[in-house]
Structure 1
Amino acid sequence: MTIELRVLRPSEWDEWYQGLTLAFGGIPQSPEKAALIREITDFDRSLAAWDGAECVGSAGSFGMQVTVPGGGLAPMAGVTMVSVSSTHRRRGVLTSMMRRQLDDIRAWGEPLAVLTASEPVIYGRFGYGAAASLIRADIDTARVRLELPEGTESVRIRKIPAKDALAECEPVYARQVPVRPGMIVRLPGWDRLQYLDAPEDRQGTSHLQTVLAERDGRTTGYALFRIRPGWEDAGPKGRVEIQDIQADDPASYAALCRYVLSIDLTSVVSMSNRPVDDPWQSLISDIRRCNVRVQDSLHVRLVEVGAALEARTYRTPVDVVLEVADAFCPWNEGRWRLTGDAKGASCERTSDAADLSLSVRELGAVYLGGSSLAELAAAGRVRELRRGALAEASVAFGSDTAPWGPHDI
C-alpha cells in the first residue's frame, strides 16, 4: 500500500475535514462552525495523507506566538487537526506526517511546536514534553464560602448579549497574554471561534452566557459559561459550566467568582480548564469540597534547541552545558552551552564537558516552567554530570507563574 502525503488543496478540504471529524468521534459540526474552521485553516501548513482517493490522515499547524518565561513572545507552530483513520493505524502514517511537519516548521524558522494532546502517550516519541498542566474542579456551592479581597464591592457585574462578547472580552484576554507562560496571541478568526455558540457544543446546556466585571466604567474581566439545568426531589441542582474567566485584578476576579457561585437554581460550578495556581483556590473556604483534578495541558517540542532556549529568560543566572539527545530531529543532538538570566540568554554549540544529560522531550517539559529538571532527574530522565548543576539549572528554568494554555489549538 502506498500512502501519498501532500499539502492540502482547498478543493480537498471537505473530505479532509470529514475524515478528521470521524477520527474524533464522528459528531458533525454545524455549518457555521465548519465554515469558520475552514476560513481559519492555513492550507499551506495543512497535510493530508491519501490512500488513492481516500483521505486517511491529517495534520495541520498555525504560525502563532506564545508567551514564554520572562513575558516575551516566541514564534511557535500551533499543531492541530492531527488524525489517522482507524483503518490505517500502525502503518507509519502518523510518523510520516510528524516527520514532514517538523521539517517544515524548522524551515519556517519557528523554534517551538506546541499542541494539546487527545492522547498524550502518542507525542512523547516525537519529542514533545508535557510542559503545562490544568485543573478541573466541581465546586459544591452549598458547602463553601468565598473570602473576598478588598475592592470587590466596587466591581460591577453586568450581563451582555452574545453578539457583544467578542468586542468586550478580547481586550481583556489580550492583556493577560504577557502575564502567564503558555498564553497564545489570537490569530484573526480565532477570536470569533471562542465565542461561537454552536449547537453541538451545548450538549444539554444553555446557550453561551457572558458577564463582565467593570470598575470605574472600564471592563476589567469577564466570565463565559453555560447552565446545565438539573432537578431532584429536594429541589434544583443545576450546574454552571465555566468556559473561561479572565480578569485584570484580584477584586474583579473575585467578583466574577462570587457571581458564578451564586447563580439561582444551581449548586455546582464546574471548572474544566484552569491554571494549577488559579486564585479561586485561595478564595474558597474548603478545597476538599471542590473535587480538584490535575491533567496535562500544553505539550512543547523544541524544534531548534538553541533558538528556543534563547527565546526565554531565566529566573536566576545559569551557565550550564546540556548534552541533548534527539533521534527524531538529529540537528538538535549534541552539547549546548546555555548562559542566561532574567535579562536574556545565549545558547550555542560547544565542545565543553556536559553538566546535564537529557533528551529534547525533557527540555520541552521544563521549557515553560511548569515542570522542574530536579523532578525529572528524580524519575531518571535527567542525569547530573557536574555536581550542583542540576539545582542551578532547575531553579533557573522555573516560573513564578504556572504555565497555562486556555486558547484551544
Structure 2
Amino acid sequence: MSIELRQLDGSELDRFFETLAHAFGQGPPFPAEMEELWRSLLELKRTVSAWDGEQLVGTASTFDFRVTVPGGGSLPAAGVTAVGVRPTHRRRGVLRSMMRRQLDELHAWGEPLALLTASEPEIYGRFGYGVASEELTARIDTSRVRLTLPEGADELSLRLVDPRDPEVLARCEELYARRVPVRPGMLERRPGWQWVPLRDPAEKRDGASPMICVLAESDGELRGYARYAVRPRWDTGSPHGQVLLHNMEALDPAAHGALLRYLCDLDLTTELDVRSRPTDDPLLHMVSDTRRCHVRPLDQLHLRLVEVDAALAGRTYAAPVDVVFEVADAFCPWNEGRWRLTGDAHGARCVRTDETPELALSVRELASGYLGGTSLSALADAGLVRELRSGALAEATTAFRGALAPWAPHGF
C-alpha cells in the first residue's frame, strides 16, 4: 500500500475531523464544541496527514508547548495530539510512518521533548515514549469521610461565579501561571489554551449540571479556585448526588483545604468524584479514611526525549550526579550511544563521550525517570536499567527524583 504523508492544508480540516471521529470509534460528526476549539488551536505546520489516494486515512499533530522540568525551569515540548488512523487502514504501518515523520521534524526543529496522553498506554512505547507521570482519581464517600483542614482554611471566603466570565477567567489564569513553575509536568498556557479546562460539551455530561466555578479569596485576593459539576441522584427517596471535580488550583494549604471542604459538604450529595489530580495531592492527608476514597493511579504523561543532551542538560538535579549513560534508541538513532551527565541543583551538562558506560538503558526508561516521577532503581529491579559501575544507579536515582510528583493539569 502506498501512503503519502504531507502537511495538512487548511481546506482539508473537515476531512481531518471526520477521520479523527472514525479513528476514535465515535463516527462523525466530531463533537461540535471540541471541533471549534481545536480549529482555533491546531497549527497546520505541525500537522501530518496520511493519504491513500484521495482518502485521508491518518492524522497526527503537535502543539508548541513549554513544560516545567525539575528545578522549576521550562523547556520547549511538542504536545502530540490528534493521532488517529481510519479503522480500514489499521496495522498497515500508517501510525509508524507518521511517528517517524513527526520525530524527524521535531529533531530538525531542535525541540528536546515530546509529550502525549495515550488513549491506550501500550501504543507508544515502541516509539520511545515512557510513562513519566501518573494522575490520581478518587471517589470520596463524603457521608463517611471526615476532613482535617490546614490552619487558615476557615478564614477564607468562598464565592460562586460564572467560569466563563472574562474577569474571572483572567484571574484564574493568573493564579494558574503562578503554579506552573512549582511542579514538573505543568504546561505554560499559550493564548487560546485558557479555554481548554473549560471544555464542557453537553453531550458528555451524562445528567450532570453545566460547569460551576467557586473562588477562595482573602481580602479580595484570589487564593484558589475549583471548577466542578453536580449530578443529582436519588435512592429510594434519599439524595445521593455526585460532585464531579473538573480542575482545581490553590496557592497554599488553607485554600486547598477550604475548597475541598466546600466540595465535600454540598447539599444533597454523598460522593466527590476527583479526576486527574497529582498522585501526591494534599487531599490524601486531609481525609480520615483513604479506603473510603477509592484512590487509583493511572498513567498520564507519556514523554519522549527527542534530544537526549538538551533534555538532560535542561533540568537540574536533587543531588550531584556524574554518570555515563549508554542509551539505546533504535527509533531516533541520533540519541544512540554514550552520554556523560554532570549536574546538581544549580545546573547540568550532557555531552557525548567515549568513556566507559556506567548505566545502560533505553531512551524509554530514561524518559520515564526524566520528570522525577519514576525511580531508576525501580526500573533496574524490573531488568530495564543495568548498572555497570557500582554506585552509579543509586547516584542517578537520587539525583533524578524530585520534591513533588510530576503532573499535567489537562490533556491535549
Q: Into which bin does the TM-score normalised by the smaller protein fall?
A: over 0.9
Structure 2 runs not aligned, ≥5 long = none
Report the secondary structure of 1:193's partner residue. helix
State how 1:30-49 maps to structure 2 within 5 Å.
Answer: 30-49=31-50
Q: 8 Å contact 1:166–1:195 — kept in the other structure?
A: no
Match of 1:142? Answer: 143
CA distance in 1, matches of 2:366, 2:242: 40
CA distance in 2, matches of 1:163, 1:246: 16
Measured after TM superposition, the shift of residue 149 of structure 1 is 1.0
Match of 2:15? Answer: 15
- CA offset digits 1:194-214 (Å, max 9, x no partner): 224322332321100100010
CA distance in 1, matches of 2:87, 2:200: 30
Measured after TM superposition, the shift of residue 18 of structure 1 is 1.3
Measured after TM superposition, the shift of residue 21 of structure 1 is 1.8
Mapped pair 1:78 → 2:79: yes
Q: 8 Å contact 2:17–2:30 — kept in the other structure?
A: no
CA distance in 2, matches of 1:180, 1:318: 21
Q: 8 Å contact 1:30–1:199 — kept in the other structure?
A: no
Q: 8 Å contact 1:307–1:347 — kept in the other structure?
A: yes
Q: 8 Å contact 1:69–1:313 — kept in the other structure?
A: yes
Mapped pair 1:67 → 2:68: yes
Q: 8 Å contact 1:182–1:404 — kept in the other structure?
A: yes
Mapped pair 1:257 → 2:257: no
Residue identity matched to 2:300: S
Aligned residue among 311, 315, 336 for 1:312 = 315
Mapped pair 1:239 → 2:247: no
Measured after TM superposition, the shift of residue 86 of structure 1 is 1.0
Q: 8 Å contact 2:22–2:87 — kept in the other structure?
A: no
CA distance in 2, matches of 1:32, 1:358: 43
Residue identity matched to 2:2: T
Identity of aligned residues (%): 57
User: What TM-score do you get using the length of structure 1 for normalisation?
Assistant: 0.98
CA distance in 2, matches of 1:262, 1:349: 57
- CA offset digits 1:149-207 (Å, max 9, x no partner): 11111111100013324223111111110000000011211112322432233232110
CA distance in 1, matches of 2:300, 2:92: 28
State how 1:171-182 maps to structure 2 within 5 Å.
Answer: 171-182=174-185
Match of 2:153? Answer: 152
Report the secondary structure of 1:272's partner residue. strand
Aligned residue among 398, 404, 408 for 1:405 = 408
CA RMSD, aligned part only? 1.1
The number of aligned residues is 409
Match of 2:341? Answer: 338
Measured after TM superposition, the shift of residue 30 of structure 1 is 4.6
Measured after TM superposition, the shift of residue 29 of structure 1 is 4.3
Q: 8 Å contact 2:125–2:364 — kept in the other structure?
A: yes
User: What TM-score do you get using the length of structure 2 for normalisation?
Assistant: 0.97
Structure 1 runs not aligned, ≥5 long = none
Report the secondary structure of 2:124's partner residue. helix
Residue identity matched to 2:273: S
- CA offset digits 1:208-258 (Å, max 9, x no partner): 010001012101110011111111015011100111111000000000000
Residue identity matched to 1:280: L
Identify which range, 312-321 or 168-177, moves more after superposition.
168-177
CA distance in 2, matches of 1:382, 1:200: 45
